[in-house]
Structure 1
Amino acid sequence: MSDARAPLWRTSSYSKASGECVEVADNVGDVLIRDSEQREQGHITIPGHGWSMFLTTLKAPNS
Structure 2
Amino acid sequence: MSPPLTPGWRTSRHSSNGASCVEVLEADGAAYLRDTKEHGEGAVLHLDGPAWTAFLDEVARDAPSANGAVEVETFDAGERLVREASSGAVLHFRADEWTAFRAGVLDGEFGRA
- TM-score w.r.t. length of structure 1: 0.70
Name the count of aligned residue pairs.
58
Structure 1 runs not aligned, ≥5 long: none
Q: Does 1:23 align with 2:45?
A: no
Runs of 4+ in 1 over 3 A off after TM superposition: none
> Which amino acid letter does the alignment assign opposite residue 57 of structure 2?
T
- TM-score w.r.t. length of structure 2: 0.43
Structural RMSD (CA) = 2.4
1:46 is displaced (CA, Å) by: 0.8
SS in 2 for 1:10: coil
Structure 2 runs not aligned, ≥5 long: 64-113
SS in 1 for 2:52: helix
Q: Which has the higher contact order (CA 8 A, sep 6+)?
A: 2
Identity %: 31
SS in 1 for 2:17: coil
> Which amino acid letter does the alignment assign opposite residue 21 of structure 2?
C
Counterpart position of 1:48? 49
Bigger radius of gyration: 1
Determine if contact 1:7/1:26 at 8 Å carries over to the other structure.
Answer: no
